[in-house]
Every structure is written in structure tokens, then in C-alpha cells.
Chains A and B, each alone.
Chain A
């Protein structure tokens, strides 16, 4: 646990010193979201209908951006081998990386989602459900992304391959996340979709950590 915390602190310190990476993801989220009113027209009722979906898709894409650096730098300079030898199981190390990814990308996205959604004229009743869905949703995306980043580690064109592998697996998160916000917008209970998002998180937590751990060990061989 102590090593886990030390590793997490190291990741956070590194991302704080290379702040541009996290900012780039956040900026991408905003700019991509702002493109939609320009492309489909600023009519408020159309935007209100589309707002939850736009926020979800943009969050999904923005969360992918910093992933190829998640293990890339450590792999290139050899610190990945040292990290695997520091006494922590590879799966726990992957979990620490996923937690760092969420804290530096998922949490800022969650905070920025409310202003973006309001700019897209989301219905006020849908906003709490959207944010409540984004919380487990971004956590699951961080876990899936960590597993994907570990799997493509060392591949040619890994950066292109990564979205190809992660996006199909991320579709359930997108479906239930958007469904929760849509249900709330039309006055239906959002609870079932939110519970399913929680279930996905509970499935991804051990599954993705184990997969990422196995992939990291394979990459370090």
C-alpha cells in the first residue's frame, strides 16, 4: 500500500511538471464540444437533445489522448522494468497508473463537463444524471485505457492502434452513460442505467487491472 501511494505520488508529480498533457486533453474536450453547435446549428432544442451524447463522446475521445504517454515514457527510458521490480504486483502497478490517469484526466473532464453541458443548453433535469454517470464512466474509461495502453506498449503505430482497441470496448459505458442522462431529461428514473455503469466499473476494476498487469509483464520481458 505504501509503495502504491508512492507510485501514485510519483505519477501525479510527473504530470504536474508536464502539465501541458492534462491541459491538452481538457482543451480538446472543450474545443471538440464547441464544434458541434457550429456544425449542427445553434437551435436550442436540437442542442438540448444532443448535449448528453456530445459530452459523452467528447469525454471518451479526450480521455484517450494522454494514454500513449501513460507507459510510453517509462517503457522508453527503462523505468518500467524498475517499477515492475519494486515489489508491487504488476496489476497493482497498473491500478496506480489508472488512478493517476483518472486524477489527471478523468477528474478535470468531470469538472469541465458541467460548463460544457450548460453551454450546449442541456436540460437542467439531465445535468445531475449526466455528471453522476460521468463519475463511474470516466473511472471505467481510465481502467480500459490503461489496459489498452499496456497492451499496445512497444507496438508500431501504437498510438493509432490504441483507439481502435479501446473504443469498441468502451461502447457499453457510452450507451449507459448517455441513457442515464436521456432518461433524466425525459423525466424517467436514471437509476437503472447508473447502476449498470457501476456494475461495469466493478467488472473493469479487477479485469482491466489483471489484463494490464499481464501485458506489462509481457512488454518488459
Chain B
């Protein structure tokens, strides 16, 4: 062992290795194939259970009446819209700093899923706003920043597919995703900074929830289900992308042999 080696702790020396273990597409396909059903089936089950509980059995709100049930669709989608962008940014960092090939594929697959969850969040919020606020849309800080998040997702999708060389698309998309991260704290704190129509957070990690447990439980179950569904969708899409890449490589090899 050289002196320079001994300066690096053993755990650090292996960290690059552990990260890149999953870069092997064969290993990723085997591992994700084993994990996927364990994520997808509970995800769908919990989502359905949480939504049925929330939509049919949870109590109605004393002020908002039955319209409050939209939160079981809206709030988990909003959480996942932001968390999905954080995942996208993490993948972007992995791909820019460590050139991790799977991070590129995962980032390209996260953004369509994130865009769909953001669209669900915007649409359900709009449906809730009509009876509660009396309008489909207001230019409130929270709504506007989530709309910007939606555009960032769409821009990322368009950018990744705009290059003839997919590798360049991944790099450009990663840079864009990292620049767009400034929007995440704006979304989170918009309700505190601008005291506009959208209410501030009801649930926080620290401190007691300010909603009834009869409503909180279905919400948390639906949120867990949404999260698992999100992860399952991204895993399945990434698997499909890996296989698509393999098929393309095989076809190219065959075409070269024939030529």
C-alpha cells in the first residue's frame, strides 16, 4: 500500500466502485427486474386504498364540505412533482460529475413522469379552486411557480430529444435541470414569502399536524402509494430505455455485418 492510498479511508476508496456497480446495464436490469414488482404492486395498492379511503370514507371538512377530498389527489401529486424534480437534479449531478451512464437514462425518463404528476397537481388544484376560490386559476405565487416547474419539465423533455447525438442531449438536459433547481425553494417558500391565495403548508416534518388524523391517514397512505408508483414508473421506463439501447446496438451491429 502506498502512503497516498492510506490517507484515503477504506470506505471512501470503495465509494466510486459502489456507485458504478449499477452502471453495468445487465446488473441494473437483473436488480430492477427483481425490485420492480415489489414497488409497483404495493404502490398501486396503496394509491387505490388511500384514494378510496379519502374519497369515500374520510370525513368532509366543516368549512369546505366535500370539495376537501380533492386534496387526496392534489397534495401527493404536488409533493411528487417537486420531489421528482429533485430526483432529476440528483441524476443530473451524477451524470455531470461522475458521468454515470444510468443517471443519464434515468434523468431522461424522470422528466415525462414528473411532468404528468405536475399536470395532475395543476389540474386537480384548478378543479378545487373553482368551488373554493370561485376561479379556475389565479396568478398566485404557488400556482405560478408550479406552472414554471411544469414548463421546466417540458423544456427538459424537448431539450433531451433535440440532439442527433443522444449523449449531447443528456449533457444539455443535465445542465438545464441543475439551473432549474432554483425554482424548488421558490415553490416551497412561495406561500410564506408572498401571502397570496394558496394556503401555507398544513403538514410539516416538525411539529404536530394541523389536520384531523381521520384525514391525515388516507393522505399519507395515498402519498406513499404515489411515491412508489412514481418510482415504479421511472424504473420501468429506465429498463425499457436500456433494452431499447441494446436492441438498437444489436440492429446496428447486424446492419454493419450485412454491409
Please report A residues at the B interface, Cβ cutoff 8 Å: 147, 151-152, 154-158, 161, 164-165, 167-169, 171-172, 203, 207-208, 211, 214-215, 218-219, 221
Contacts and interface: CB of A to CB of B under 8 A. Distances in A.
Contacts of B171: 215, 218
A158 B155 contact: no
B184 to A, nearest CB: 13
A167 B148 CA distance: 9
Interface in B178-236: 178-180, 182, 186
Given A154-B168, A168-B155, A211-B179, 17 more contacts: A151-B159, A151-B172, A155-B162, A156-B162, A161-B158, A161-B162, A164-B151, A164-B158, A165-B155, A168-B151, A168-B152, A169-B179, A207-B182, A211-B175, A215-B172, A218-B168, A218-B172
Contacts of A169: 152, 179-180, 182
Contacts of A165: 155, 159, 176
A153 to B, nearest CB: 8
Nearest to B165: A154
A152 B172 contact: yes
B132 interface: no
A147 B176 CA distance: 9
Interface of B: 96, 144, 148, 151-152, 154-155, 158-159, 162-164, 168-169, 171-172, 175-176, 178-180, 182, 186
B162 A172 contact: no
A164 B154 contact: yes
Contacts, number: 63
A161 B148 contact: no
Contact of A155 (B172, B182, B186): B172
A211 B148 contact: no
Contacts of A168: 148, 151-152, 155, 180
Residue of B151, B164, B186 most packed against chain A (CB within 10 A): B151
A97 to B, nearest CB: 16
Contacts of B186: 172
Given A155-B162, A165-B159, A215 B148 contact: no
A151 B253 CA distance: 32
19 contacts: A151-B172, A151-B176, A152-B159, A152-B162, A152-B172, A155-B159, A158-B162, A161-B155, A161-B162, A168-B148, A168-B152, A171-B144, A172-B186, A207-B179, A207-B182, A211-B175, A214-B96, A215-B171, A219-B168
Nearest to A167: B151
Most B Cβ at <10 Å: residue of A155, A211, A219? A155
